[in-house]
Amino acid sequence: MIVEGKALVKKYSENQGLQDVTFSLNEGRIIALAGGNGAGKSTLIRLLIGEEKQSSGEICWAGERSISYMPDDINFPTALTAAEILQLLAGLKKVSAAEREKVLKRVGLWEYRKQKVSQFSKGMRQRLNLAQSLLGDERLIVLDEPTNGLDLLWIAELKTILQEQKQIGRTILFSTHLLSFAEELADDVLLLYEGKVLLEGSIHTVLDQAKCNHLEELFMKKVGLTKNRNV
């Protein structure tokens, strides 16, 4: 276990936030934080990275909190090149030039490293966003909707990259509203619905226990039961 949340509540004046959310993230796994718009995914991420504080409940880390974060969008300085931006960020993490080069090559931006970000497509900016999250040796990588702006080729490549990060011992948590993508990539799922945990655990285990073939089928089954109880 790398981190667990205990009875987390986050209240906002304009919406519900999180309601009594309890979960644990197991080390060396890929975890999908899944759910639709307004389910509470971004709220939970903000609590994990320390951007916001929960209204009540606890977040307990096994050892020192060590996180690298990929936001769903990032406004890079458009006057700088990809190499300059990564050099600045790598300096903060005390990362070598060799690692910067390796990461830029891995996300397919090495040949564009001297090009200003203002000339980048949305997909290229997202790959630069991914690159900065791969720098360093933090135990946990948190990615908020990492497929945004990526074409089919780079969505497939993203899966490979995250599997590579798992193989070197890192834990990956990514948020998504695409249950099929979660099922293809993740070992575990934390599925939120209306600010609550709808289901949590190994994807294979939760599907077997519910006698469902896919997460979408299980989601509809669970949501149907929830709605029926509320009628």
Task: Name residue, tokens 């999250």.
Answer: 133
Contact 148, 174 (CB under 8 A): no
Query: Alpha-carbon distance 156 to 178, whole Å?
Result: 14
CATH superfamily membership of 3-66+139-230? P-loop containing nucleotide triphosphate hydrolases (3.40.50.300)
Burial 210-224 (b: 16+ CB within 10 A, else e): eebeebeebbeebee
Full pLDDT tens readout for the chain, 231 residues: 999 999 999 998 877 789 999 999 999 999 999 999 889 999 999 999 999 999 999 999 999 999 999 999 889 999 999 999 999 999 999 999 999 999 999 999 999 999 999 999 999 999 999 999 999 999 999 999 999 999 999 999 999 999 999 999 999 999 999 999 999 999 999 999 999 999 999 999 999 999 999 999 999 998 876 555 554
What pTM, to 2 d.p., does this model score? 0.93
Contact 214, 204 (CB under 8 A): no
**Side-chain-facing half-sphere of 60: CA atoms under 13 Å:** 11
Query: Alpha-carbon distance 184 to 181, whole Å?
Result: 5
